[in-house]
Amino acid sequence: MFQPRIQKIRNHHQDTKTPRKATEMPFDRRAAFQAILGDLGALVVRSFLFLLIISFPLLAGRPQRVVSQSVGTDELLLALAEPGQIAALSHISHEGAFNPVAEEARRFPALRDSDAESVLRFRPDLVLAASYTRPETLALLKRAGVRLVVLDRFDTLEDVYASLRLLGRELGQEGRAEGVITHCQAQVAALAARLKGVKPVRVLGAGLYPFTPGMDTTFQDLCDHAGALNVAAEAGLRGHAPTPSEKLLVWNIDVLVAAGDPNIRARLGELPCYRVLPAFQAGRIVVLPGPLMSSVSHHRIAAYEALARALHPERFR
């Protein structure tokens, strides 16, 4: 009864000692390597497509044809947007007399004019404007159904930070907005450290128009950061109020601060309200670049430093 089992064992032992005739295809290393590469390539393509699909809503949500209608929004847009997001900037964006970043702005088209028709011809998906934009222009843009963001607070640097954050959200550039703010805060802190303990210089904002900047103005913000005391605000003026010519002599003004080119001194001398002031007669006039002094963006920080250097030169030696 054990004979058949023994024979099977012997036959199996012989089979393991005698190689069987190969019937499989020989192993091709090159073909196998190419197959692996093909599988990896397909995996990479699938991964890329997956990432593209999940990121598409974010990319699609970012406006791609943004038009800025004012110089102030030009400055903010250039600081935050990708170049491909900008369709056009304001009609005076290329002019250095108005725009502190005119050189950068010249890389982009400028509007023909500030009206709604000039804006809409660029087929924008987002328009940036300011509260000082003509009301009829804002009304027409709203009627056209275009996405419109109107900035209406400019008086303080905190207002600027709020505008940066708002536009950062609109442009899908929140991180970039926070980066600009952090850099600004560092600049302001460094300037404040230089000016710590200085006696504020009594200044008056002087110009060719019969208005004087008091409280709640960008000029007040400039004074607050440059070691200056705005005598108009001290006297109770708010906003850009009519110049009280008869009171200027009793305000004890140390320095006049004006915007423009050096010729502004001679032009101010044509106005009796300034010509009679001891500060004017002694030549104590600081002239700041117009685009910086009137800036409603973060670029006003350059005006802070320029005025601080003029009023407190000993702190910058």
Q: Is residue 72 part of a domain?
A: yes
**DSSP codes, 52-104:** HHHHHHHHHHS-SSEEE-SHHHHHHHHHHS-GGGEEEB-TTTT-TTT-TTHHH
How many structural domains are present in the chain?
Answer: 2
Of the CA atoms within 13 Å of residue 259, those in its CB half-sphere come to 19
> Does residue 73 sit in the same domain as residue 137?
yes
Supply the DSSP symbol for 110: B
> 222: how many CB neighbours lie within 10 A of its CB?
26
| 201: β partners | 228
Q: Which amino acid would we find at residue 221?
A: D
Among 67, 225, 205, 264, residue whose Cα is nearest residue 146: 67
> Does residue 300 sit in the same domain as residue 229?
yes
Q: Is residue 176 part of a domain?
A: no
Give the per-residue pLDDT at 262.
78
> 196: how many CB neighbours lie within 10 A of its CB?
9
> Does residue 307 sit in the same domain as residue 223?
yes
d(Cα 147, Cα 124) in Å, to the nearest integer?
Answer: 8
Q: What is the 3-state secondary structure (H, E, C) of 211-250?
A: EEECECCHHHHHHHHHCEEEHHHHCCCECEEECCHHHHHH
Whether 123 and 66 have beta carbons less than 8 Å apart is answered as no
> Does residue 214 sit in the same domain as residue 311?
yes
Task: Read off the tokens for 231.
Answer: 């005598």
Give the per-residue pLDDT at 34.
66
Residue whose tokens read 């001290």 = 234
Q: Which domain holds residue 205?
A: 196-316
Among 174, 167, 101, 94, residue whose Cα is nearest residue 128: 167
Give the per-residue pLDDT at 33.
56
Specify burial of residue 165 (Cβ count, 10 A radius: 0-12, 13-18, 19+). middle
How would you classify the pairing of strands 240-242 and 211-213? antiparallel
Helix (H, G, I), strand (E, B) or coil at 94: coil
Q: Is residue 92 part of a domain?
A: yes
> 120: how many CB neighbours lie within 10 A of its CB?
15
SS percent in the chain: helix, strand, coil, step 5: 55, 15, 35
> Does residue 201 sit in the same domain as residue 309?
yes
Q: Is residue 50 part of a domain?
A: no
Q: Is residue 60 part of a domain?
A: no
| 204: β partners | 256
> Does residue 221 sit in the same domain as residue 295?
yes
Which of 152, 177, 207 is where one domain is finished? Answer: 152
Q: Is residue 171 part of a domain?
A: no
Give the per-residue pLDDT at 28.
64
> Does residue 141 sit in the same domain as residue 213?
no
> Does residue 201 sit in the same domain as residue 146?
no
d(Cα 271, Cα 120) in Å, to the nearest integer?
Answer: 43
Q: Is residue 135 part of a domain?
A: yes
> Does residue 205 sit in the same domain as residue 299?
yes
Task: Read off the tokens for 259.
Answer: 């915007």
Among 252, 258, 218, 259, residue whose Cα is nearest residue 234: 252
Among 201, 199, 243, 252, residue whose Cα is nearest residue 222: 201
d(Cα 70, Cα 113) in Å, to the nearest integer?
Answer: 11
> Does residue 113 sit in the same domain as residue 215?
no
> Does residue 108 sit in the same domain as residue 201?
no
How would you classify the pairing of strands 86-88 and 285-288? unpaired
- Assign residue 123 the CATH number of its domain: 3.40.50.1980
Give the per-residue pLDDT at 152.
93
Can you give the pTM of this predicted structure?
0.78
Of the CA atoms within 13 Å of residue 78, those in its CB half-sphere come to 26
Among 251, 255, 241, residue whose Cα is nearest residue 210: 241
Give the per-residue pLDDT at 260.
87
Give the per-residue pLDDT at 3.
46
Q: Is residue 230 part of a domain?
A: yes
> Does residue 137 sit in the same domain as residue 241?
no
Listed as ranges, residues in the chain with pLDDT below 50 are 1-23, 44-45, 47-59
| 229: β partners | 202
